[in-house]
Structure 1
Amino acid sequence: MMSIPVKKPMIFQNIPCTLVTGFLGAGKTTVINQLLTTKPNNERWALLINEFGRIGIDGALLASSQDSGFEQENIAIREVSGGCICCTSQLPLQIAISRLLSDHHPQRLLIEPTGLAHPRELILQLSAPHWQTALKMNAVITVLSGEQWQQTKYRDHDGFQAHVRDADVLVINRYAQLDVSEKQALVEWITKLNSQVKIIWTVSRLASAETTDLSDGQLTDAYSATLKDQLNKPSYIILNQRKVNIAHSQKSMIGLRSQGNSLAAMPVSSPSTDEHEAQDNINNDLPYRYHEEQQDFQLAGWRLPAYYVLNADDLQNWLLALPNWERIKGVVHTSDGWMQINFNPGSLTTKTIDPQTDSRLEIILQSDGDVDTAIEKTESKNDAEALSSLINWEDCDRELMAMVI
């Protein structure tokens, strides 16, 4: 009888991995694009993107910002949408990383979690023993927007502060409007939260005016080199967490030994491939819309067939009139052609892109507290602010469909 050789699973060891975090709208995509430009031509890299919603747009935004496709650049990309990969269960993160490593065999991995994620949860997962041999965790790079920091609602927000506390490296962008005293105040605020963090200021338009001994080109090269260096710096945040994990594990082992053989072994199960293929193929029936709440934000998204053409001017005016919007992004077929939309309160960007398989649009609105409270305010008086916190998604559907030409 002929024996059939059994294919052994590939074992991955010490794949350099960098976590790029930042609060919602901080500018992570820009920094990731800058990191991707430093990739040597002969290396294979992989990028794991965790979308804040269910639609999946960041991959298209990144791809459209590259002069050539990811495949030609030897970069594999995988999106995990439908919520935070660090919440409730480690399985989405484990499966996504395992697939990237086994399918593409990258020599470096970048992970971009959603801006709504709490970085501590993700650091706890990546500090777990099963990743210590497969991944070599390098410096956690966090992006901070100077424009956001200027606003009290961000500066005092625990989620905003959490990204600073759990950073090895802090890349500060969008700070051109800060004067010298404000920059100093920003550094002091950072230091109180994380005294060990390394601060990198992105190259701004005013950099040459502030630095007389370097040209714009030299400043850009120096910034790029400094950013690239962080890809190989060890993460002290994750190293310290691993030490905590080891100490906790040793205490747990002592407790287990004291209980003798009273604990029965529990089987470990893993989800089937079919279950995850079904999850990957969700929302294929178009048109599709969802809406949900995460923390104190309202999320909504639409996927429309490619042959739906929306009036470009009406769409932009409608999006900007939405109440309390924090982030708007999409790839949409419009009367001006296929457009990339990438809006945050400090930046409104639109760009012509190649035709896509479908149109995708996703928005995040800041909730003004509890909805019931807002209704009470509205009933008691004509409170414009309270009214703006309420939104009728069925009306939004009708308004969006009315723009289809």
Structure 2
Amino acid sequence: MKKPIIFQNIPCTLVTGFLGAGKTTVINQLLTTKSTDERWALLINEFGRIGIDGALLASTEDSNLEQQKIAIREVNGGCICCTSQLPLQIAISRLLSEHNPQRLLIEPTGLAHPRELINQLGAPHWQTALKMQAVIAVLSGRQWQQENYRNQDGFQAHVRDADALVINRYDQLHESDKQALVEWIIKLNSQVTIIWAPSEQATSDVKNAYLLALNDQLSNSSQIISKQRKINIAPPKKSVIGLQPRIGAISTSPLSAPQTDSKEHQINTDTDQPYRYHEKQQDILLAGWRLPAHYVLKADDLHNWLLKLPNWLRIKGVVNTADGWLQINFTPDSLTTSTASAQIDSRIEIILQLDETDNTAKEDTTIEYMPELSATSIDWDTCDQELMAMVV
């Protein structure tokens, strides 16, 4: 009988941040600091059921994760910071046993409360297996500028529960605003290390200095988690800010192939069949589509169609278009589209705000919304037909 592998002191870094803060970008930057002979593993948690972040991390043209000794495991369809620790334990145990990494990075969903994950990682059964390094939180300067973000407990929580804070998208902030941001951060967490992410126009020296500062956090022990281990309090019951635990039915639907008659289909998760789901969770609506790789969509039409969805909070995707494979990463303050390597299928996932009266998150942005529509009034069959109509 084979003896179980006992893992000890594997460096582990938690990368947190509010929805749309830019966690995936920071993880990609951390990956560039990896030595070629090291084995790293990534645990990515997405609240949606399809899973896109793994593709966003691995979809550069020259990316080959196996050759780079990087293993990715995605946990989709809920938050790993739930009242039961089982999903997190299983995911970490499998990553360690199957890939024997020398370093583990964990990216929880932006809808999660970091304190609950810190509670779990501070539990006694992880104290010998994992060596918890600095908790890195990501903060968007553009989000912080909006009062409804910075006054929200869920937004503040990522600052309070961080050893290091990476600030990005601050190019529109005046010096006085940046000073006010620093003062706001210090009030929440006077011990946090602040790292300013450089813009794309920054010099190579500035970018290299940033990567060195970021890489330093991989070898700094987490004071936040160390304190939590000493306190040894039980994790709170709720797992997601403003959301209840996942209960109730999920609505899933296969899509009709282009230029075919509408027929009743069985739900099919095969990558050769189109698929859509949508699910209501208190004040948000999650929805996603998966399309076979040979479905080629009109890029401009898709872009415009996504932006017309009502009250959206986040749009992510990796899609085969007439302009090639594209990554889509939209937040209310940032629209990013870039080239991607070919995938086994196209994926789109969206998060919509169901509270029609709360439009404050859309103030002072350059993106056009459609307040006359609401997420609750969406006709999903019509959405499916519109999406299929974009297939070339």
Q: What TM-score does the superposition give when structure 2 sets the normalisation length?
A: 0.84
**Residue pair 1:368, 1:386 contacting (<8 A) in 2 also:** no
- The corresponding residue for 2:219 is 232
State whether residues 176 and 206 of structure 1, in contact with CA within 8 Å, keep that contact through their aligned partners in structure 2.
no
CA contact (8 A) 1:296 1:369 kept: no
Return the letter of the residue paired with 1:39.
K
Structure 2 counterpart of 1:388, one-letter code: S
Which secondary structure does the structure 1 equivalent of 2:131 belong to? strand
SS at match of 1:9: coil
Which consecutive residues of structure 1, in runs of 5 or more, have no partner in the other structure? 1-5, 208-215, 249-281, 372-383
Aligned residue in 1 for 2:84: 89
Q: Paired residue for 1:367? A: 354
Q: What do the CA deviations read for 1:284-305 (whole angstroms, capped 9, x no partner)?
A: 3732111123453221101112
- 1:152 corresponds to which residue? 147
Q: Which residue of 1 aligns with 2:269?
A: 283
Deviations 1:155-176 (A, max 9, x none): 1222111111111110000101
Which residue of 2 is the match for residue 398 of structure 1? 385
Give the equivalent residue in structure 2 for 1:309.
296
Aligned equivalent of 1:16, options 6, 11, 15: 11
Distance in 2 of aligned mates of 1:118 and 1:392? 32
Point out 4+ residue stretches in structure 1 off by more than 6 angstroms: none
Answering whether residue 119 of structure 2 is matched by residue 124 of structure 1, we say yes
Q: In the alignment, what sits opposite 2:374?
A: 388
Instruction: Tell me which residue corresponds to 1:202.
Output: 197
1:28 maps onto 2:23 in alignment: yes
Query: Compared with structure 1, are the counterparts of its residues 157 and 296 closer, same or farther at alpha carbon in structure 2 (3 Å cutoff)?
Result: farther
Q: Secondary structure at the match of 1:149?
A: helix
Does the 8 Å contact 2:60/2:341 carry over to 1? no
Paired letter, 2:144: W
Q: Secondary structure at the match of 1:77?
A: strand
CA-CA distance at 1:63 after TM superposition: 0.6
Which of 294, 299, 320 matches 2:286? 299
Which residue number corresponds to residue 42 of structure 1? 37
1:244 aligned partner, one-letter code? I
| Deviation digits for residues 343-383 of structure 1 (CA, Å, limit 9, x no counterpart) | 22222222233322111110111222589xxxxxxxxxxxx
Superposed CA RMSD in Å reads 2.2
Give the 5 Å matches for 1:189-268: 189-204=184-199, 216-245=203-232
The equivalent position to 1:186 in structure 2, one of 153, 158, 181, is 181
Q: Give the SS at the match of 2:325.
A: strand
Secondary structure of 1:400's match? helix
**Partners of 2:126 and 2:43 in 1: how far apart?**
16
How far did 1:34 drift? 0.9
55, 66, 83: which one pairs with 1:60? 55
1:116 CA displacement: 0.7
The structure with the largest helix share of the pair is: 1
Larger Rg over CA atoms? 1
Contact 2:47 2:76 in 1 (8 A): yes
**Are the aligned partners of 1:330 and 1:360 in contact in 2 as well (CA < 8 Å)?**
yes
Which letter does structure 2 place at the counterpart of 1:243? K
1:137 is matched with which residue? 132
- Displacement of 1:88 in angstroms is 3.1
**Which of these residues, 94, 102, 112, is aligned with residue 107 of structure 2?**
112
Residue 72 of structure 1 aligns to a residue whose secondary structure is coil
Describe how 1:327-338 pairs up with structure 2 within 5 A: 327-338=314-325
CA distance in 2, matches of 1:336, 1:66: 14
Whole-angstrom distance in 1 between the partners of 2:294 and 2:200 = 40
CA contact (8 A) 2:166 2:195 kept: yes
In 2: Cα distance, 1:166 partner to 1:65 partner: 31
Q: 1:205 to 1:46 in 2, by over 3 A?
A: closer
SS of equivalent to 2:36:
coil
Q: Distance in 1 between matches of 2:192 and 2:283?
A: 28
What secondary structure sits across from 1:41 in the alignment?
coil
Aligned residue among 355, 358, 364 for 2:345: 358
Return the offset for 1:388.
Answer: 3.4
Cα distance in 2, alignment partners of residues 8 and 143 from structure 1: 40
| Equivalent position of 2:313 in the other structure | 326
Of 334, 344, 350, 2:331 maps to 344
Instruction: Tell me if the contact between 1:56 and 1:79 (Cα under 8 Å) persists in the aligned partners.
Output: yes
Q: SS where residue 165 of structure 2 aligns? A: strand
Work out whether residues 61 and 340 of structure 2, in 8 Å CA contact, stay in contact via their aligned partners in 1. Answer: no
**Higher mean C-alpha displacement, 299-308 vs 61-70:** 61-70
Provide TM-score, normalisation by structure 1.
Answer: 0.81
- Greater CA deviation, 305-314 or 354-363? 305-314
Within 1, Cα distance between the matches of 2:346 and 2:103? 31
Q: CA shift at 1:386, angstroms? A: 6.0
Q: Percent identity?
A: 74
Between the aligned partners of 1:226 and 1:393, the Cα distance in structure 2 is: 46
Matches of 2:56 and 2:24 in 1, distance apart? Answer: 8
Work out whether residues 176 and 205 of structure 1, in 8 Å CA contact, stay in contact via their aligned partners in 2: no
Q: Which moved more, 1:82-91 or 1:133-142?
A: 82-91
Q: What secondary structure does 1:17 align onto?
A: strand
State the alpha-carbon separation in 1 of the partners of residues 147 and 280 from structure 2: 23
| In structure 1, distance between residues paired with 2:83 and 2:357 | 24
